Amino acid sequence: MSDRLNEYADFLDEDGEEAGLTKVALQNAIQVYDFLQPGPKKTIAEIAKAFHCTPECIAAAVRDHYWMFIPEELHREPLTGEALDRATINHEGE
């Protein structure tokens, strides 16, 4: 996963004491956000817009997380472009 959250900010180190966002904190926030959304599943592009970062950043966080995955990528190459934007997130045990 990249060390960049978006064009304005970097992720903080896990052991740092600075104010800001770590990769693990983003992963946990994505997981909670996705669980709490009513209606149909949100796309990666919609989640990225809510978090003010790129779809690639969201996808990287999901791919790196133990309990989340992108079902459209199962047993396939990672998605890019519009296919990634339209993809959704699943959670292990759903």
What's the pLDDT band for 47 if we cut at 50, 70, 90?
A: very high
Pair type for strands 90-91 and 68-69: antiparallel
pLDDT score recorded for residue 15: 63
As a residue count, the chain comes to: 94
| Beta bridge partners of residue 92, listed in sequence order | none
Mean pLDDT for the stretch of residues 56-75:
91
Nearest-CA neighbor of 47 among 74, 26, 64? 26
Mean pLDDT for the stretch of residues 36-62:
92
- What percent of the chain is predicted at pLDDT more than 90? 53
pLDDT score recorded for residue 9: 57
How is residue 83 written in tokens? 């296919």
Query: d(Cα 36, Cα 21) in Å, to the nearest integer?
Result: 21
Q: Give the helix/strand (H/E) hosting 68.
A: strand 68-69
Domains of the chain, residue spans: 23-91
- pLDDT reading at 87 higher than 90: yes
Q: What confidence tens digit (pLDDT) does each residue in 7-34 have?
A: 555 665 666 566 567 788 889 999 999 9
